[in-house]
Structure 1
Amino acid sequence: MKTKKSTETTNTLGLPIKETEVIAAELNILLSNFQVYYQNLRGIHWNIRGKRFFDLHIKFEELYNDAQLKIDLIAERVLTLGGTPLHTFEDYIKNNRLKVGKDVTVDTDAVNLIITSLADLLKIERVILDESDKISDEGTNSMMSDFIKEQEKTIWMMKAWSEEEI
Structure 2
Amino acid sequence: MKKLSQIGLDIEKSKELSILLNELLANYSIFYQNVRGYHWNIQGDKFFELHSKFEELYNNLFLKIDEIAERILTLGFNPNYKFSSYLSTTLIKESNLASNGKNSIQEILESIQILLSKQRILLEKSEELNDAGTNDLMNDYVSEQEKLVWMYSAYLKSN
Normalising by the smaller structure, the TM-score range is over 0.9
Runs of 4+ in 1 over 2 A off after TM superposition: none
Q: Is 1:134 the equivalent of 2:128?
A: yes
| Residues in 2 aligned to 1:80 and 1:118: alpha-carbon distance in whole angstroms | 25
One-letter code aligned to 1:112: Q
State the SS of the aligned residue for 1:10: coil
SS at match of 1:49: coil
Give the number of aligned pairs. Answer: 158
**Structure 2 residue 105 is matched with structure 1 residue 111:** yes
- Counterpart AA for 1:80: T
* Alpha-carbon distance between aligned partners in 1 of 2:6 and 2:38, rounded to the nearest angstrom: 42
Alpha-carbon RMSD across the aligned residues, in angstroms, is 1.2
Name the structure 1 match of 2:149: 155
Asked if the contact 2:97–2:103 (Cα under 8 Å) also holds between the matched residues in 1, the reply is: no
TM-score of the superposition, structure 1-length normalised?
0.92
Corresponding residue number in structure 1 for 2:114? 120
Q: CA separation in 2, counterparts of 1:84 and 1:11?
A: 14
Structure with max Cα Rg = 1
Residue 99 (1) aligns with residue 93 (2): yes
In structure 2, how many angstroms separate the alpha carbons of the residues matched to 1:83 and 1:30? 15
* Deviation at residue 99 of structure 1 after TM alignment: 2.8
- Partner of 1:52 in structure 2? 46
Report the TM-score, using the length of structure 2 for normalisation: 0.96
Q: Distance in 1 between matches of 2:148 and 2:36?
A: 17
Aligned to 1:36: 30
* Partner in structure 2 of residue 13 of structure 1: 7
Q: CA deviation at 1:105?
A: 1.3
1:78 corresponds, among 72, 76, 83, to 72
- From 17, 39, 62, the equivalent of 1:23 is 17
Aligned residues with identical type, % of pairs: 41
Residue 14 of structure 1, CA deviation: 1.1
SS at match of 2:144: helix
* Conserved 8 A contact 2:10-2:129: yes
CA distance in 1, matches of 2:98, 2:62: 20
User: What 5-or-longer segments of structure 2 have no aligned partner?
Assistant: none
What secondary structure sits across from 1:34 in the alignment? helix
Return the structure number with greater helix share: 2
In 2, are the aligned partners of 1:30 and 1:124 still within 8 Å (CA)?
yes
Q: Quote the offset at 1:8 in angstroms.
A: 5.0
Does structure 2 conserve the Cα–Cα contact (< 8 Å) formed by 1:15 and 1:135?
A: yes
- Per the TM alignment, residue 90 of structure 1 is displaced from its structure 2 partner at its CA by 0.7
* Aligned equivalent of 2:139: 145
Q: Distance in 1 between matches of 2:111 and 2:68?
A: 17
Tell me, which stretches of 5 or more residues in structure 1 are unaligned?
Answer: 1-6
